Amino acid sequence: MDAKVEYSLVIAIVNSGNTDLVMEGARNAGARGGTTLRARGTGNIELEKFYGIPIQSEKEMVLIIVNDDITEKVMESIYKAAGLETPGHGIVFSQKIDNVIGLSAIDLTKENIEEN
């Protein structure tokens, strides 16, 4: 019996127009691709007043399925490229995935990525 591969869903939420930053960061860490969704933030007026900058309500979400072995590396790379200190003003989080159907059987383990 083959060992079950475990995956996580990495989710990045950035200001509209900054998904390229997310995908560049993700690919640099070994991710292959993602899905972009349009979103709308419900900005907190008090935060806008506190920081003194407008919070952009038009957002985009990038959903990326990765092997658990590279989840943290992908998240850190995305945050470096599109985090709060960048034009993307993004956040990144992940969620464990129980089952996946439809992914190709390419080895996305940390060891394989580092070898290539």
Domain ranges of the chain: 7-115
pLDDT at site 114 = 53
pLDDT at site 13 = 96
Question: Strand 58-67's sheet: what is its strand order?
Answer: 35-40, 58-67, 7-15, 91-97
Q: What share of the chain is helix, strand, coil (3-state, %, to 5)?
A: 35, 30, 40
pLDDT at site 110 = 47
CATH fold, domain 7-115, is: Alpha-Beta Plaits (3.30.70)
DSSP type of residue 99: -
116 residues of the chain, pLDDT tens digit each: 456 779 999 999 999 999 999 999 999 999 999 999 999 877 667 766 776 666 678 899 999 999 999 999 999 999 999 998 999 999 999 999 998 888 765 555 545 545 54
Task: Determine whether 53 is exposed, middle or buried from the number of CB atoms within 10 Å of its CB (0-12, 13-18, 19+).
Answer: exposed
Say what the pTM is: 0.80
